[in-house]
């Protein structure tokens, strides 16, 4: 069976599937019930599963996560929605000190199969605190898994895997892709590989472009544009940001000898830093050039009308590719303090 779905709709369908499969799965978050969430991802679920399994919560993110910890303690499998990326920080303590550590703390006696769904990133002309990319904070936190989806099929399959996973999972949903439509197979096993596996979306030989979530399409577009100039880019959707699928990354970069990492978050200490460090550790003698980072600048997310100056786009990806190839680019000496 298959159906055309938006990315948001696919997550909703995946959640419905997960709730049907396991009565212990329940959702909690702000406005997720009657309204179906501000992005309508949970549309219809409260109607069909009732207010106990789709809980509109008080407006308190620490409360949502702390309550989820207790529910998990009791044997439930809570799926928390944080309304926007920028609103996850009030829950940071519960995530970093409780959710992530409970299994280790109790030597495995207590599992925390909590999924934390977060609409993420910019490119949608939104208000302050509605376009953050906080994934690096969580990828640096032991005990958590972090992933991001980029297309409806992955969204449908991987949300189910995330919910079924006995570890806590940060599940980032790129807002700018919510309305993207695609064909989704709803039967059979989930997409090959599973939630911790990267996916090579385009094979290439000159440079490996690594990205995830909202910028996957940008990278693919850049690869298409580059091919017109005779350049062959390999594009990898990392999917999993913690753990990173190193075998897949390593295999590709050893082949191409050059890597460009693309993300929206600030450069310093972003996922790109870990990728650059880890790639260099694993592929040093295969590398023709330092790993190049094409990222958001080290600034608070700018106002909507200026976000295009902040966000990596096709041209900035190509600029990074130029840098990786040792061609003229903006990555000159003076670009590094």
Partner 1 sequence: MSSLLAHDTGTGSPPDRGDPRTVRLLTPDGVRQTSGEYAARVADLDDAALLGLYTDMVVIRRIDQEATALQRQGELALWPPLLGQEAAQIGSARALEHDDFVFSSYREHGVAWVRGATTAELCRVWRGIAVAGWDPYRIGMATPQVIIGAQTLHATGYAIGAKYDGAASAVVSYFGDGATSEGDTSEAMVFAVTYGAPVVFFCQNNQWAISEPVGLQAPTGIAARAAGFGLPSVTVDGNDVLAVLAVTREALERARAGEGPSFIEAVTYRMGPHTTADDPTRYRTADEVEAWKAKDPVARLAAYLRGTGALTDDVDAEVAATAQRAAAALRADCTALGEPDGESIFDDVYAEPHPVLEAQRTRFLAYREGFEEER
Ligand X SMILES: Cc1ncc(C[n+]2csc(CCOP(=O)(O)OP(=O)(O)O)c2C)c(N)n1
**Residues annotated as catalytic (active site), given as ranges:** 130
Q: Which of residues 84-143 bind partner 1 (CB under 8 A)?
A: 86-87, 90, 93-94, 97-98, 101, 103-111, 113, 125-130, 142-143
274, HSE (Cβ side, Cα atoms, 13 Å): 21
Contact assessment for residue 147 and residue 158, using Cβ atoms and an 8 Å cutoff: yes
Contact assessment for residue 174 and residue 200, using Cβ atoms and an 8 Å cutoff: no
Q: How far is the CB of 234 from partner 1 (least distance, A)?
A: 21
Q: Which of 186/250 has CB closer to partner 1?
A: 250
Q: Which of residues 240-299 bind its own copies (CB under 8 A)?
A: 242-243, 246-247, 250, 265-266, 268-274, 276-278, 280-282, 284, 287, 289-293, 297-299
Taking residues 264 to 293 in sequence order and writing x for each that binds partner 1 by CB under 8 A, - otherwise, the string is ---xx-------------------------
Give SS3 for 174. Answer: strand
Residue 273: both structure tokens together: 């830093």
Contact assessment for residue 171 and residue 147, using Cβ atoms and an 8 Å cutoff: yes
Q: How far is the CB of 91 from ligand X (least distance, A)?
A: 9
- Using CB under 8 A as the binding rule, whether residue 44 contacts partner 1 is answered as no
24 contacts: CB under 8 Å, gap ≥ 6: 75, 76, 77
Q: Which of 128/224 has CB closer to its own copies?
A: 128
Rounded Cα distance between 122 and 92, Å, is 21
Bridge partner list, 288: none
- Using CB under 6 A as the binding rule, whether residue 30 contacts ligand X is answered as yes
- Using CB under 8 A as the binding rule, whether residue 329 contacts partner 1 is answered as yes
Q: Which of residues 82-101 bind ligand X (CB under 6 A)?
A: 83, 87, 90
Q: Which residue has the tokens 């990392």?
A: 238
288-315 in b/e burial notation, b at 16+ Cβ within 10 A? eeebbbbbbeeeebbebeebeebbbbbe
- Using CB under 8 A as the binding rule, whether residue 152 contacts its own copies is answered as no
**DSSP-H helix ranges across the chain:** 7-21, 45-49, 61-73, 92-93, 102-105, 135-139, 152-164, 216-228, 246-256, 271-283, 307-310, 314-324
Using the rule CB under 8 A, give the single segment among 4-12, 59-67, 149-157, 253-261 that binds partner 1.
59-67
Contacts to ligand X by CB under 6 A = 30, 59, 61, 83, 87, 90
Contacts to its own copies by CB under 8 A = 62, 86, 89-90, 92-93, 96-97, 100-101, 104-105, 128-129, 136-137, 139-143, 242-243, 246-247, 250, 265-266, 268-274, 276-278, 280-282, 284, 287, 289-293, 297-300, 331, 336-337
């Amino acid at each position: 069976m298959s159906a055309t779905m938006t990315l948001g709709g696919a997550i909703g369908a995946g959640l419905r599937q997960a709730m049907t499969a396991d009565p212990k799965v329940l959702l909690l978050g702000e406005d997720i019930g009657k309204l179906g969430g501000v992005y309508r991802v949970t549309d219809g679920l409260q109607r069909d599963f009732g207010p106990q399994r789709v809980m509109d919560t008080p407006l308190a993110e620490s409360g949502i996560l702390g309550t989820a910890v207790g529910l998990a303690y009791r044997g439930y499998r809570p799926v928390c929605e944080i309304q926007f990326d920028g609103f996850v920080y009030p829950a940071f303590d519960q995530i970093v000190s409780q959710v992530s550590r409970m299994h280790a703390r109790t030597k495995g006696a207590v599992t925390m199969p909590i999924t934390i769904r977060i609409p993420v990133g910019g490119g949608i002309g939104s208000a302050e605190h509605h376009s953050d990319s906080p994934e690096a904070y969580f990828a640096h936190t032991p005990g958590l898994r972090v992933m991001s989806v980029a297309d409806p099929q992955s969204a449908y399959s991987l949300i189910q895997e995330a919910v079924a996973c006995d570890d806590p999972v940060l599940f980032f949903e790129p807002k700018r892709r919510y309305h993207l439509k695609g064909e989704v197979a709803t039967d059979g096993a989930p997409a090959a590989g599973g939630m911790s596996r990267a996916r090579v979306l385009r094979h290439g030989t000159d440079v490996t472009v690594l990205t995830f979530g909202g910028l996957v399409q940008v990278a693919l577009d850049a690869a298409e544009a580059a091919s017109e100039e005779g350049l062959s880019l390999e594009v990898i959707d990392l999917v999993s940001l913690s753990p990173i699928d190193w075998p897949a990354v390593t295999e590709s970069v050893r082949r191409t000898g050059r890597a460009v990492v693309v993300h929206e978050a600030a450069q310093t200490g972003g996922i790109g830093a870990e990728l650059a460090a880890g790639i260099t550790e694993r592929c040093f003698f295969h590398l023709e050039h330092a790993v190049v980072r094409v990222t958001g600048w080290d600034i608070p997310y700018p106002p909507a009308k200026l976000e295009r100056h902040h966000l990596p786009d096709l041209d900035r990806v190509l600029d990074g590719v130029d840098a990786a190839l040792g061609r003229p680019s903006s990555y000159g000496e003076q670009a590094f303090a």
